[in-house]
Amino acid sequence: MIAIFGLLLGIVLGLVLEPTLPAMLQPYLPIMLVAAMDAIFGAARAYLEGTFVDKVFVVSFLSNVLIAALIVFIGDRIGVGAQLSTGVVVVLGIRIFNNAAAIRRALLRA
């Protein structure tokens, strides 16, 4: 219940305050969002399987976001940022779809 309240509060604050992201961080936001989605889908899967641990979720969430942003940052510095961004999205996308399939199987018993 607290998580839902926090989510709703965050959405309302985002709509009211309309925060802006510095231009230098804008290339990393999509990658960080995909990494965060991977952690969230993994947490949902773990919850349905009965193996969810909140500390593991927090560490997974933060490390996924930071590592994905770091990979893209390093790619930008060596001139292959777009290729590494695509690679990160593909890998995390596969993980998201695998977790979504497991969630579907757990919910629908199919």
Structural contact between residues 82 and 20, judged by C-beta atoms closer than 8 angstroms: no
pLDDT at position 2 is 82
- Model confidence pLDDT, tens digit, residues 30-45: 899 999 999 999 999 9
Domain ranges in the chain are: 23-108
pLDDT at position 65 is 92
Q: pLDDT at residue 20 above 80?
A: yes
**Rounded Cα gap, residues 94 and 89, in angstroms:** 8
Count of Cβ atoms closer than 10 Å to residue 23 Cβ: 7
pLDDT at position 109 is 83
pTM, two decimals, is 0.81
Q: pLDDT at residue 82 above 90?
A: no
pLDDT at position 34 is 94
- Of 87, 70, 58, 78, the C-alpha closest to 32 is 70
